Structure 1
Amino acid sequence: MLALGSYWNHLNQTLFQKEQASLLRDILNSQAGAIEQLLNQSLVTTALLAHEVRRSGGEPPDFTVRAAEILRDFPAVSSLRLAPAGVVSQIFPLTGNASALGSSVFEQARTGVAAQQARQERRLTLDGPLQLREGGIGVIGYNPVFLASDDDGEAFWGFVAAVIDLDPLLSVMDLDALVQSGYYFELIRLTPSGVEFPVMAGGDRPPREDLQTLTVRVPNGQWRLRMGRNAEEGPGGFWIGQLVSLVAALVFTWLVHYVLREPQRLRTLVESRTRELHQLAYHDFLTGLVNRRLLQEELVQALREQARSGGPWHCSISISTTSSVSTTPWGMRWAISC
């Protein structure tokens, strides 16, 4: 019984762990997909603004108006910037970002590599995480703009950049609820050289072998989302199951022992009751001496034996002190012979 209980407990633990791993994988896929979708939606702002630059043949005269209209539909984007030849010339909103005016994106230590990569590969590139001047953690999307040149080619005009605040962006994913449910998450940016930069994290980190990782596809880069959960049914739960199995095995053993011992107990009880009934039938209740009924039965038995032997009939009841005698209710000893 204990072996069966231990095996069943092991199966339950294995099944629980597989269910938890499957649930974690589903949540991880869902969260990674949500991050990709939210980032790509926010980076659409650079494409819209780049279209205005191409339409205007350079810096659009109504940049402030167009930027305000775009930000109204993308609340996670904290600011939009124009950087002709890589030098920031216009920012909306300007409040809190004025210090970035006139700076070259190529000369900045943290963003210069991403800007250079975006220009060379001629595609949108995401850089970060960065500590934003207005507070919080954010990323910057650099979208290079190329305009038609006189030689029927394209010349690099500059960048359209969007600064994305990750806190409001990821707040719609309700990661705090996952943390309160015991989950752990960490969002990591992976550089081309393989170095990991943490973007954000939350919850109590479980052992590394309990973490699952999924790649988040971002423009011209790679991020990773790791998630895990401290197991509810760890070694403690396993030993509780073993203890329950032991208790069940002991109860089962006692029941089997009781069932197997019951026939012997009943035989002993029947023999005891039979002796008591025999005592009551052939002995006086008060004195404990043999009664007339025993005398009659022994007399009949003696006559039957004499009849089977075929000898002459002669029966007598005599007083005797031998061991094969009975005691009368009057305290005398008697013997029957035929």
Structure 2
Amino acid sequence: MQKNSKINIISTALLCLSMTLITIGLVEVIIRSDAEHEKALIRDTLLNTGALIGQEVQRNISYGIVLTESLDVLIKSNNYNIDDFEKWAEQLFTMNSRVDSIQLAPSGVVSKIHPLRGNEGAIGHDLLHDAKRANGALKTVHSRKVTFIGPVKLIQNDKYAVIARKPIFKIVDGNEQFWGFTIAVLSVDRILPPRVRKLEGQGLYIKLEGANPDAKIAPVLFSSAKWRAENAVEMEIGVPNGTWKLLLGHDPIKNKYYDMARIFTIFLAFSFSCVVFVQQCRMNTKQGKITFLNKKLTELSLKDELTSIGNRRAAMKALDYHISQAKEVEEEFSTLMLDLDFFKQVNDQYGHPAGDHLLQHVANCVQSTVRRNDSVFRIGGDEFLVLFPQTDISGGVAAARKLHAVIEKTPCVYEDVTLPVSVSIGLVEYSDDSIKSLLHRVDVKLYEAKKAGRNAIRY
């Protein structure tokens, strides 16, 4: 990553230096040419500036995607408990200065907002039953992806903003159910880069028009106080839900002092290149941090917090992979489901911390016994799943017996008390199953082991 970062910095520096030299050369040619050449240069400058503004607008809007995706991972990794929303929001909010507020809408009703001050008017807003918002909210649910609406005027402050929404789905009894939305609100004032105000002081005037298919006149999101259409250029900015129009104009230019023009052009070119270089370096650094954070969030979303082994979500992904391999290259594999016997009695007699210790003990026993390419997951309270790739039923039975013996012979001591530990095991070999049918078959075998008196293996 560091090597790539250095290459990007060197490439950016060379690009900025090239842009500076080219710009100075072009200006020198224009100065010695007629006014039409000079107008062409100014037009190119405006287009380049507009392109950079457009890129910054697109990048700032993309923060909404990062936030909604990050909230999605945090909610799911916390089993849909949103009591820590304020803690998450503060951390995410400090990393995304372009965002006005972060919101959660369980069942489509806005109930959590950060910061709350100034946004109280949005609390209780039912997105799925608001005549003005319902269509967009339902479209988001059906798409199952992050969607954007806007620019719209916010209920709480009547300002234009873009709203990013991501639908969240929860697995209940094996079925997906809509849980609600994660929402990021980005006001147009924050989406626009600070350079816009600086350009106004340099004699450039800017106007930004949004997209509203239901209105005859496009809403004006921003307009310089001295805006004038004369000599203006326009360009489109592609945003997730449509196209915005950016217009840049300037005062009439009179080329009376060639030397001053040369000095100004050199200064502007170097300043512009330095700004591009600094921003590109910052963007590379921030992108690296975002990539690292996304990687960590993904790891957390697939790990069981108590035992540090894979969770149910990771187990489903692993099953899907091994089933695909089995169908494509006819690779055999076996699946083992393990359940602690009388686990509730341990919790009742010794307390839940003792039960947690017992779960960690069993998880360690399983991990230390299986092969390196086998996979171990905790898929329920006291239920574990083990996948044995490239293993038929006979190999799986041998592994199950070894695992059962290790757990039976390894004492679990908690606060000077040896906790009782025994397990029931069900085992099946893959046979052209779906994930659902495979889990059902191994669950039946586990039930047979339980019914046989527990502390047994059935296959």
**Structure 1 length-normalised TM:** 0.58
> Taking structure 1 as reference, are residues 104 and 52 closer, same or farther at Cα in structure 2, changes over 3 Å only?
same
Q: Choose which of 36, 48, 51 in structure 2 pairs with 1:26.
A: 48
Deviation at 1:140, TM superposition (A): 1.9
Deviation digits for residues 15-49 of structure 1 (CA, Å, limit 9, x no counterpart): 11111111111111111111111221244111111
Alignment match, 1:175? 196
Alignment match, 2:122? 100
User: Alignment partner of 1:140: what SS?
Assistant: strand
Greater RCO, CA 8 A, separation 6+: 1
Q: Does 1:17 align with 2:39?
A: yes
Q: Choose which of 75, 78, 81 in structure 2 pairs with 1:53.
A: 75
Q: Choose which of 160, 163, 166 in structure 2 pairs with 1:143.
A: 166
Task: Please give the residue correspondences for 1:182-201 in structure 2 after superposition, counting only pairs within 5 Å.
Answer: 182-192=203-213, 196-201=218-223
Q: Choose which of 232, 243, 267 in structure 2 pairs with 1:211.
A: 232
Deviation at 1:134, TM superposition (A): 5.0
8 Å contact 2:31–2:38 — kept in the other structure? no
Task: Please give the residue correspondences for 1:280-295 in structure 2 after superposition, counting only pairs within 5 Å.
Answer: none
The structure with the largest alpha-carbon Rg is 1
User: Alignment partner of 2:206: what SS?
Assistant: strand
Aligned counterparts of 1:156 and 1:132: Cα–Cα separation in 2 = 25
User: Alignment partner of 2:42: what SS?
Assistant: helix
Alignment match, 2:325? none
Alignment match, 2:156? 133
- For 1:69, the aligned partner's letter is Q
> Taking structure 1 as reference, are residues 42 and 103 closer, same or farther at Cα in structure 2, changes over 3 Å only?
closer
Structure 2 unaligned segments of length 5 or more: list them: 1-29, 257-459
> Taking structure 1 as reference, are residues 49 and 113 closer, same or farther at Cα in structure 2, changes over 3 Å only?
same
Identity of aligned residues (%): 24
User: Alignment partner of 2:127: what SS?
Assistant: coil
**Number of aligned residues:** 225
Aligned counterparts of 2:244 and 2:138: Cα–Cα separation in 1 = 19
Task: Please give the residue correspondences for 1:299-314 in structure 2 after superposition, counting only pairs within 5 Å.
Answer: none
- For 1:139, the aligned partner's letter is V
**Structure 2 length-normalised TM:** 0.44
Structure 1 unaligned segments of length 5 or more: list them: 1-7, 239-338
Alignment match, 2:140? 118
Alignment match, 2:86? 64
Aligned counterparts of 2:134 and 2:220: Cα–Cα separation in 1 = 19
User: Alignment partner of 2:34: what SS?
Assistant: helix
Aligned counterparts of 2:215 and 2:33: Cα–Cα separation in 1 = 39
User: Alignment partner of 2:105: what SS?
Assistant: strand
Aligned counterparts of 2:119 and 2:229: Cα–Cα separation in 1 = 41
Aligned counterparts of 1:129 and 1:62: Cα–Cα separation in 2 = 29
8 Å contact 2:121–2:155 — kept in the other structure? no
- For 1:180, the aligned partner's letter is G
> Taking structure 1 as reference, are residues 96 and 58 closer, same or farther at Cα in structure 2, changes over 3 Å only?
same
> Taking structure 1 as reference, are residues 104 and 77 closer, same or farther at Cα in structure 2, changes over 3 Å only?
same
Aligned counterparts of 1:143 and 1:231: Cα–Cα separation in 2 = 47
Aligned counterparts of 1:168 and 1:107: Cα–Cα separation in 2 = 29
> Taking structure 1 as reference, are residues 59 and 177 closer, same or farther at Cα in structure 2, changes over 3 Å only?
same
> Taking structure 1 as reference, are residues 107 and 61 closer, same or farther at Cα in structure 2, changes over 3 Å only?
same
Which region of structure 1 is more displaced relative to structure 2, 104-113 or 50-59? 104-113
Task: Please give the residue correspondences for 1:154-165 in structure 2 after superposition, counting only pairs within 5 Å.
Answer: 154-165=176-187
Alignment match, 1:294? none
Give the CA RMSD over aligned residues. Answer: 3.0
Deviation at 1:59, TM superposition (A): 4.2
8 Å contact 2:102–2:183 — kept in the other structure? yes
